[in-house]
Amino acid sequence: MTADDTAGLMTAPIEPTSEKLLALTLSSLDDDKAIEVVQIDLRGKTQIGDHMVVASGRSTRQVTAMAEKLVDRVKHTFGFTAKVEGKDTGDWVLIDTGDVIVHIFRPEVREFYQLEKMWQPGAAPSPAN
């Protein structure tokens, strides 16, 4: 085995599971000083994913930077690129890793949409029109 082969073994992506993706997401947001991080278990509630994470950044710049770093960490760790929406404006960035859906907001935008309230245990279903 050559030195190049050994180096490749050390950087090989690990198998993504919803728990590993969630742990990486929470760690990344913590490292980047996200505020009011809420974790929501979606298992048994929907097919869109196993977990949802909602967090805030203090500015559009911080929201965008947190999203970029999380996407980079997912790619480096697991070997795939997460889908991202809203990064250009930085008010609300959605990151879809498959099993973990991440929403990063500016505080004012998060307060307006109150997204996590729809998914929290005991939330009333929306009335049918």
56 found inside a domain = yes
State whether residue 96 is helix, strand or coil.
strand
62 found inside a domain = yes
Tell me the residue range of the domain where 96 lies.
14-113
Our count of domains for the chain comes to 1
Q: What is the pLDDT of residues 63-116, one digit of tens each?
A: 999 999 999 999 999 999 999 999 999 999 999 999 999 999 999 999 999 998
CATH number of the domain within which 92 lies: 3.30.460.10
This prediction's pTM: 0.83
36 found inside a domain = yes
Q: Which of 78, 63, 58 is nearest to 12 (CA)?
A: 78
120 found inside a domain = no
77 found inside a domain = yes
Q: What separation in angstroms does the CA of 60 have from each of 16, 37, 57, 66, 117? A: 29, 17, 7, 10, 23
118 found inside a domain = no
Task: Provide the pLDDT for residue 18.
Answer: 93
4 found inside a domain = no
